[in-house]
């Protein structure tokens, strides 16, 4: 089960180092303003719910999701199931934050409780219960294990993340957990939503903000999972790191005196005297080689991030 190729580490280590540095900076400045944290948490909860549900086919827009969750509005033309998916995910998030505050290790019971909320009023017969029959996943390059093995494999996965026998850093560990969870496919329905909650339980217990996989990265996300089925975790790890970079930058922006300003790359190239063009800087962002994050389909970075990359290259020559 633990076929993990760690050759990607050499390429991603600078990215990991940057993210852990940002986490340390965030921890050193805690507690942040209560009002600022509340606003960020509320905004990210809506984004998280929208993106996670959209990846699974929910057609609610970000604005419609916000209206349902914060205004109690019913959206005309949208199914009852889609409304339940939004409300259920927000309820599961509330439980998630409670679990983060507990000092205990992650458990199967925690994840079953999250899954029960995800499927509440949708598939009540299956909510919070492992599947008891075989399943197939359209478009995937593997077949999930026999249902009789699910419980023991899941226990093995929980033991693995709690013991961390391979000495993985917390980003790598959450990535491996995410993939192995999807591979086991422990539930008939709700696997994706639940794993994106559970892997963030791991990250948030380690002091990171949530990593929100964006709807626009859906194809990249599934490609990363399929690569991980063959033991190659580079694509999935990079996507996870990029999701974390975005939310770390959001929280760091709430630190008093932080004047770091992220600009869309196309605009930055026009405004700043940089040694590279838009295409190359965008490539560096996609590869995780510079401090950058994605909003929608566009990449944002800073002049300082590009200059730091240039200086680093000079030192290595």
Give catalytic residues, as residue numbers.
185
For residues 21 and 186, the answer to whether their CB atoms sit within 8 Å is no
Alpha-carbon distance of 126 to 190, in angstroms, equals: 10
User: Dmax over Cα atoms in the chain, in whole Å?
Assistant: 62
Q: Is 110 left (phi over 0), alpha (psi -120 to 50) or beta?
A: alpha
Tokens 């939004």 found at: 86
Query: HEC states along 180-195?
Result: HHHHHCCCCCCHHHHH
Alpha carbons within 13 angstroms on the beta-carbon side of residue 1 total 21
Tokens 């794993």 found at: 195
Dihedral, 250, 256, 259, 263 alpha carbons, nearest 10: 20
Alpha-carbon distance of 295 to 13, in angstroms, equals: 24
Alpha-carbon distance of 138 to 145, in angstroms, equals: 15
């Amino acid at each position: 089960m633990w076929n993990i190729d760690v050759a990607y580490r050499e390429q991603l280590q600078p990215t990991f180092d940057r993210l852990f540095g940002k986490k340390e900076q965030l921890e050193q400045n805690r507690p942040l303003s209560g009002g600022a944290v509340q606003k960020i948490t509320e905004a990210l909860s809506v984004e998280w719910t929208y993106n996670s549900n959209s990846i699974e086919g929910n057609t609610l827009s970000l604005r419609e999701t916000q209206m349902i969750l914060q205004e109690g509005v019913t959206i005309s033309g949208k199914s009852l199931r889609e409304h339940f998916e939004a409300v259920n995910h927000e309820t599961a998030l509330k439980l998630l934050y409670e679990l983060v505050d507990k000092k205990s290790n992650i458990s199967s019971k925690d994840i079953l409780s999250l899954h029960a909320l995800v499927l509440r009023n949708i598939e009540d017969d299956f909510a919070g219960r492992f599947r008891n029959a075989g399943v197939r996943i359209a478009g995937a390059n593997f077949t999930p294990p026999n249902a009789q093995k699910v419980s023991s494999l899941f226990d093995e996965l929980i033991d693995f993340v709690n013991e961390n026998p391979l000495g993985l850093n917390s980003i790598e560990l959450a990535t491996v957990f995410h993939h192995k969870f999807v591979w086991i496919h422990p539930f008939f329905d709700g696997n994706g939503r639940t794993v994106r909650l559970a892997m963030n339980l791991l990250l948030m217990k380690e002091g990171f903000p949530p990593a929100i996989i964006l709807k626009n990265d859906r194809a990249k996300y599934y490609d990363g999972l399929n690569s991980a089925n063959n033991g190659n975790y580079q694509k999935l790890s990079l996507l996870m790191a990029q999701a974390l970079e975005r939310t770390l930058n959001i929280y760091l922006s709430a630190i008093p005196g932080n004047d770091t300003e992220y600009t869309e790359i196309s605009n930055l190239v026009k405004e700043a005297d940089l040694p590279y063009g838009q295409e190359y800087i965008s490539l560096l962002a996609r590869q995780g080689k510079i401090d950058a994050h994605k909003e929608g389909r566009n990449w944002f970075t800073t002049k300082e991030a590009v200059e730091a990359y240039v200086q680093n290259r000079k030192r290595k020559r």
